[in-house]
Amino acid sequence: MPRPLAKGMSKDLITMDDLSDDDIVGLLDDAARLVPVAHGDVHLPLLEGKLLGNMFFEPSTRTRMSFETAMKRLGGNVINLGALASSSVSKGETLYDTMRMVDGYCDLAVLRHPRQGAAQYAADACTIPIVNAGDGAGHHPTQTLLDLFTIREELGKLEGLTVGLLGDLRYGRTVHSLAAALARYDATMHFIAPKSLAMPRRVTAELPDGWSAHTTLDEILPELDLLYVTRIQKERFPDPEDYARVAGAYTISAETLRDAKPVLRILHPLPRVNEIATDVDDTGHAAYFRQAFNGVPVRMALLEMLLGSD
Amino acid sequence: MADKLLKVQPIRNGTVIDHLRAGTGLKILDILDVADTGNTVSLLINVPSSKQGRKDIIKIEDRELTESETERIALISPGAHVNIIRNYSVAEKTAVEIPEEVAGVARCPNTNCISNNERGATSRLLLRSREPVHLACAYCARLVTEDELQFL
Ligand SMILES: [Zn+2]
């Protein structure tokens, strides 16, 4: 269970549910202010003397580097405990013991772990704040925060948008968290996926009315303010021909977007394979590279919230 | 009430678990693991009850229940009464209730949950609803219904 801090926020960030609506707005506002610092144009060493421990029990270079950049841009230091994580696994050390040791080393730890619930388990073992950077098929709240930040930056608001989520909606935890988060802002959501990869009931059961499921993009594309594209993974299909057919049907190109509103923005958690053709990059719709950069100011705002002195 | 019960088969010292939901008695004997302890145990099934229609009763001689056993009983048959008998009379009587958190009693059904994959980890289930009984894993948040309960 999250323990409350003076600021009213939990000491840890394990799931989006740890954040109130006000917490989210506060973080997004701070992130917007920190953009020049994230670019290196302004020097703001708010976290000087603080040490972040990156504990990656499975690789995710992008997420790890984004946290590292955020911490260093705020004047803090980072130690990568990936080697410790893998040696503790090979030596049969428990996550509990490893985290207890890290608790003494660092001021905050970022945890990526293949097991669901690992982040909460680690947070219970530690006195320092724990940030969940993905635990199995569980949560990855900083991805959701950076998605929300990108949407607000690109479209000027979060409320009342018409949003399409496209691709692998069954296994993609990113889209599950994003759908839950967008529901806080009265989004009209369209889930576009092949039947075998449709949004699971356990996700839709938690959503208010205002969503619908589709198997093709064409019919709803003209209504969309935002299209969030995810990768369809080959491993989900026993038959390679099925994969090729399905993946091909959910590919976005400049031609696909002919009937889109000019304001439509396309997001993608990256890396992409071929679900967005490179000719989309040069249209006004492409927002995914800015989205990737936004991970830095959003994580800066979070680190400042968890570690900064008021 | 207690007198009437004792007339059936009085025990001198021990525990009487009364007002068990009819049909749950066998399941509870199973989790109490009384077979190997040498205590005399009796199980009454489908006893007429003015409150419940039918109920089950379990009597265990010369043994009082641990907290973990009481929690298990609460999960299977919430509202059951545990009567501690000393010298033929009821010394203590409690209605069992599922606590807000049950630790180390039942497993999280998610096989990829850290609590099922870490040596020495204690499972923690948090009470979400009493009627029907719904719990959620404190780590992975997986919902656990009554039918899914797997005791440790
Ligand atoms: Zn669990």
Residue of chain B minimizing CA distance to A98: B118
Residues β-bridged to residue A286: A266
Same domain for B138 and B91?
no
* B121 to A96: CB separation less than 8 angstroms, yes or no: yes
CA distance B131 to chain A (A): 20
Inter-residue contact B56 to B25 (CB < 8 Å):
yes
Taking the C-alpha atoms of residue A58 and residue B58, their distance in angstroms, rounded to an integer, is 50
- Torsion sign over Cα B90, B92, B97, B103: negative
Same domain for B37 and B81?
yes
Which is nearest to A136 in space by CA: A82, A243, A236, A60?
Answer: A60
pLDDT higher than 80, residue A4: no
The whole-number pLDDT of residue A10 equals 66
In angstroms, what is the span from residue B72 Cα to ligand 1's centroid?
Answer: 18
> Does the residue B2 lie in any domain?
no
Q: Please determine, for the modelled complex, whether the ipTM score is greater than 0.95.
A: no
Same domain for A194 and A128?
no
Structural domain boundaries enclosing A147: 141-292
CATH number at residue B34: 3.30.70.140
H helices of chain B, in order, are 2-8, 25-32, 67-76
Which is nearest to A107 in space by CA: A127, A123, A121, A124?
Answer: A127
* A117 to B119: CB separation less than 8 angstroms, yes or no: no
Same domain for A110 and A187?
no
> Does the residue A7 lie in any domain?
no
Quote the tokens at residue B27. Answer: 């399941």
> Does the residue B111 lie in any domain?
yes
Same domain for B14 and B79?
yes
Taking the C-alpha atoms of residue A219 and residue A260, their distance in angstroms, rounded to an integer, is 11
| Final residue of a structural domain among B49, B76, B95 | B95
Q: How many CB atoms lie within 10 A of CB B73?
A: 24
B59-90 confidence digits (pLDDT tens): 999 998 888 899 999 999 999 999 999 999 99
List residues of B whose CB lies inside 8 A of any A CB.
108, 110, 112-115, 117-121, 126, 137-142
Same domain for A281 and A302?
no
Residue of chain A minimizing CA distance to B120: A94
Same domain for A280 and A148?
yes
Same domain for B64 and B24?
yes
Same domain for A155 and A284?
yes
> Does the residue B137 lie in any domain?
yes
pLDDT higher than 60, residue A2: no
* Residues of B in Cβ contact (< 8 Å) with A18: none
DSSP E strands, A82-161: 108-113, 130-135
* Residues of A in Cβ contact (< 8 Å) with B144: none
Mean pLDDT of A61-68: 95
Mean pLDDT of A166-180: 92
Taking the C-alpha atoms of residue B124 and residue A115, their distance in angstroms, rounded to an integer, is 16
**Number of domains chain B is built from:** 2
Least confident of A19-23, A89-93, A110-114, B114-118: A89-93
